[in-house]
């Protein structure tokens, strides 16, 4: 029996670990749920046109199903500070004079005692940016040895990054329970 190099042993270990992850993974179907660590809610993952492979009558997705507002739907309100729509409030506050800042603080204190929760939620929504996923690259961590529609198969362990800084994961595989 020949001895393996350390590099070969490390490669074997990585292949074994990858196989174990894939063994526990599920394939992703139309209607799966996604979540962004910078969003406020889950959203559905959509496949507009089937790649011809189904699980329980649901179309399966591949790594190229990453188009914003086509495959990946908005996930509530974006909390990411690098989203340019969220920076407008910061710029506005920098332009305020000290007197305007004091007036705003007094207004905030008065509102605490007079404003309802619904009013505060409405104000928060108006000052925030709705999630608009900005995806520039395909899903990562796909099953490279199972091809659907000419591309690697999407798994529930696959991830994708939003250009604004969020990390999008799959929380439900879309297969009927």
Owner of token pair 């004079």: 97
Position 68 scores a pLDDT of 95
> Do residues 43 and 75 lie in contact, with contact meaning Cβ atoms separated by under 8 Å?
yes
On whether residue 1 sits in a domain, the answer given is: no
Together in a domain, 119 and 63? no
Counted domains in the chain: 2
Residue 88: strand, helix, or coil: helix
Q: How many CB atoms lie within 10 A of CB 159?
A: 14
On whether residue 177 sits in a domain, the answer given is: no
Together in a domain, 57 and 10? yes
Together in a domain, 62 and 94? no
Together in a domain, 20 and 74? yes
Print the domain residue range for 99: 84-127
Together in a domain, 67 and 154? yes
On whether residue 148 sits in a domain, the answer given is: yes
Position 162 scores a pLDDT of 96
Q: Report how far residue 18's alpha carbon sits from residue 86's, in angstroms, rounded to the nearest whole number.
A: 38
Together in a domain, 118 and 142? no
Q: Report how far residue 36's alpha carbon sits from residue 134's, in angstroms, rounded to the nearest whole number.
A: 12
Together in a domain, 63 and 140? yes
Together in a domain, 11 and 64? yes
Q: What is the pLDDT along the chain (177 residues), one digit of tens a residue?
A: 568 787 877 776 676 666 655 566 899 999 999 999 999 999 999 999 999 999 999 999 999 999 999 999 999 999 988 888 876 544 444 577 887 877 777 777 766 666 666 666 666 555 568 899 999 999 999 999 999 999 999 999 999 999 999 999 999 999 976
Together in a domain, 10 and 73? yes
Q: Report how far residue 112's alpha carbon sits from residue 110's, in angstroms, rounded to the nearest whole number.
A: 5
Together in a domain, 13 and 70? yes
Q: Report how far residue 56's alpha carbon sits from residue 129's, in angstroms, rounded to the nearest whole number.
A: 37
Position 96 scores a pLDDT of 78
Phi-psi region of 57 (alpha: psi -120 to 50; beta: other; left: phi over 0): left
Position 54 scores a pLDDT of 94
Together in a domain, 46 and 105? no
Position 97 scores a pLDDT of 81
> Do residues 32 and 162 lie in contact, with contact meaning Cβ atoms separated by under 8 Å?
no
């Amino acid at each position: 029996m020949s001895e393996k190099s350390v590099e070969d042993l490390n490669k074997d270990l990585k292949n074994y670990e990858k196989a174990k992850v894939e063994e526990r993974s599920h394939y992703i179907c139309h209607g799966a749920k996604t979540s962004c660590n910078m969003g406020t809610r889950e959203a559905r993952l959509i496949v507009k046109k089937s790649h011809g492979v189904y699980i329980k009558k649901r179309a399966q997705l591949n790594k190229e199903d990453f188009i914003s507002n086509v495959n990946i739907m908005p996930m509530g309100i974006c909390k990411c500070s690098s989203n340019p729509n969220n920076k407008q409030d910061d710029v506005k506050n920098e332009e305020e004079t000290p007197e305007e800042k004091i007036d705003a603080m007094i207004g905030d204190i008065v509102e605490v005692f007079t404003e309802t929760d619904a009013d505060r939620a409405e104000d928060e929504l108006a000052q925030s940016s709705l999630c608009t996923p900005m995806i520039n690259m395909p899903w990562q961590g796909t099953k490279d040895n199972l091809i659907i529609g000419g591309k690697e198969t999407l798994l529930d362990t696959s991830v994708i990054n939003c250009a604004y800084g969020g990390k999008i994961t799959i929380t439900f595989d879309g297969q009927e329970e």
